[in-house]
Structure 1
Amino acid sequence: MTPFDLVLTPTGLRYMGQRFPCTIGRGGLSAQKREGDGATPIGTHRIVGLLYRPDRLARPARWAIPIRPGDLWSDASGAVDYNRLVREPYADSHETLRRADPLYDLIVVTDWNWPDAQAGRGSCIFMHQWRRPGFPTEGCIALRRDHLHRIVTEIVPGTRLIVRD
């Protein structure tokens, strides 16, 4: 491990010598992640993308991509574009990225089950803003808004997110 790794610990997400409180999936940690189980997958994941709402915040990093109206994320296990950014209209199961609440104003995308998604293994694990302390996610890692913003100004594509049992 290096100081540049994001490391999930029992007391929060450690990065650059600091610990940031966070929440994980309602299903806890899992070495056998499945679509819909609410678990955060154990393993070493790479940061592969950064998405942001340009109508709500300034571009947080040069490599960040704006979330546009109609942007969705496919969670349709078995679909050809499973675990990928898709656009409306999209008939299969998906998550809307432009939400009314601020949870997805800033999204760090990991390489969990990507780019060659295996059906049923679980769609993308994001890092995003939490609802409130202790409120679980559907498998993602969620942080306080200011902590998330601080982290994204320093990470780069390829930064490792390490989730240990």
Structure 2
Amino acid sequence: MGVKTIVVRARPGNRSQGLLNVAGTIFPCALGPGGITARKREGDGGTPLGRLRIVSGYFRNDHFVTARQTRVPMQPIAATLGWCEVPDDRNYNRPVRIPYCASHETMHRLDNLYDACLVLDWNLKPRLRGRGSAIFFHLARPGFTPTQGCVAVAAATMRRLLPRLSTSTVVKVVR
């Protein structure tokens, strides 16, 4: 059965960690160091408050092959895949081919955070300069240390959820 809604809340007493609720099952997750914010800005470290639909995803074919087992359109991450994070650039908050002239995030990471990475529809259409880019649902670091504003879960949690997710799944970030 597919998952329609994933509810994310900050963990009491720790705004950079959260609790992810999927049909009554709770999973730990990491959030941005700024916690959940209604006024998301580029570089603020906040996780945006709101309903974020899963749009698409990326995966490391050499590390997370089970990412293909989902109803989300997934693309393998090439070493040349980046994500532009410069508000004044014409490709702001979009994938780019690297090397790229403006500041960008490298998707082919050594720390494995993006071995399975789902793109959430934050600031995609329309893109507003400075409202924040690259809000992903991806893999967490050990100890669920803060993200840059994304929602991150353990690899085992991602493996469990991916087969149940689709582009109609909404990640609802609440206070």
Question: Which TM-score applies when normalising by structure 2?
Answer: 0.88
Partner in structure 2 of residue 60 of structure 1: 69
Q: Identity across aligned pairs (percent)?
A: 40
Decide which of 91, 96, 109 is 1:86's aligned counterpart: 96
Indicate the residue corresponding to 1:8 in structure 2.
8
Aligned mates of 2:79, 2:10 — CA distance in 1: 36
Structure-1 residue corresponding to 2:16: none
Cα deviation, 1:112-144, whole Å, max 9, x if unaligned, reads: 001321110000210111112241111001111
Q: Is the 8 A contact 2:10 2:36 kept in 1?
A: no
- Runs of 4+ in structure 1 deviating by more than 4 angstroms, as ranges, are none
Contact 1:74 1:81 in 2 (8 A): yes
What is the aligned partner in structure 1 of residue 15 from structure 2? Answer: none
| Whole-Å separation in 2 of the counterparts to 1:42 and 1:55 | 33
Among 93, 103, 108, which residue is 2:113 paired with? 103
What is the alpha-carbon distance in structure 2 between the residues aligned to residue 64 and residue 103 of structure 1?
Answer: 16
Match of 2:55 in 1: 48
Aligned pairs, how many? Answer: 164
Q: What are the ranges of 5 or more consecutive residues in structure 2 without an aligned counterpart?
A: 12-18
User: What is the alpha-carbon root mean square deviation over aligned residues?
Assistant: 1.6
Taking structure 1 as the reference length, what is the TM-score of the superposition?
0.93
| 1:83-162 aligned within 5 A | 83-162=93-172
Deviations 1:98-121 (A, max 9, x none): 011111100011000013211100
Q: Tell me, what secondary structure is at the counterpart of 2:143? A: coil
Q: Are positions 1:17 and 2:27 aligned together?
A: no
Instruction: Please list every run of 5 or more consecutive structure 1 residues that lacks an aligned counterpart in the other structure.
Output: none
Mapped partners of 1:100, 1:60: distance in 2:
23
CA distance in 2 between counterparts of 1:133 and 1:148 reads 16
Q: Quick one: distance in 2 between partners of 1:18 and 1:32?
A: 29
Question: Partner amino acid for 2:173?
Answer: V
